[in-house]
Amino acid sequence: MSLIELEVSEGENSPLDLHRMYNLLQDPVQISIFESDYLTDEPVKYAVTGWSEDNRPCPAQAAQAEDSGDGVILLIYGGTEGIRIQRADDYKEWSISDPSQWGEPCLMLDPKTTSL
């Protein structure tokens, strides 16, 4: 197990500031797709990338982690500007100006209802 510190500032990509420590329960893996019901009643496949301060994609990572408020979570995180997400079936080139994509500082999902 290891600690990871995530620090994302509100900006063009992320609507929220985030500064938190997480205790990783496994080594992170690089991901580009995940399936979850976090926005809908049924699982949907999403494309994800990390987002850097120069408004470019960078690797996104996922790992199970402990969160003091939620217990064990699946943490999806990326670059200094968080992560960028879009529906996988509507995949387009990553762009900060594309309204079908959105940014988050990170995602803390239920590992039982999310698959990589």
pLDDT in tens, the chain (116 residues): 789 999 998 999 998 999 999 999 999 999 999 999 989 889 999 999 999 999 999 999 999 999 877 789 999 999 999 999 999 998 899 999 999 999 999 999 999 989 99
Give the global pTM.
0.95
Decide: helix, strand or coil at residue 89.
helix
Tell me whether residue 45 is in a domain.
yes
Tell me whether residue 116 is in a domain.
no
Tell me whether residue 76 is in a domain.
yes
Counting Cα atoms < 13 Å in the Cβ hemisphere of 15 gives 5
Q: How many domains does the chain have?
A: 1
Tell me whether residue 36 is in a domain.
yes
Which range of residues forms the domain containing residue 92?
A: 2-109
Tell me whether residue 115 is in a domain.
no
Tell me whether residue 58 is in a domain.
yes
Backbone angles phi, psi at 26, to 5 degrees: -155, 165
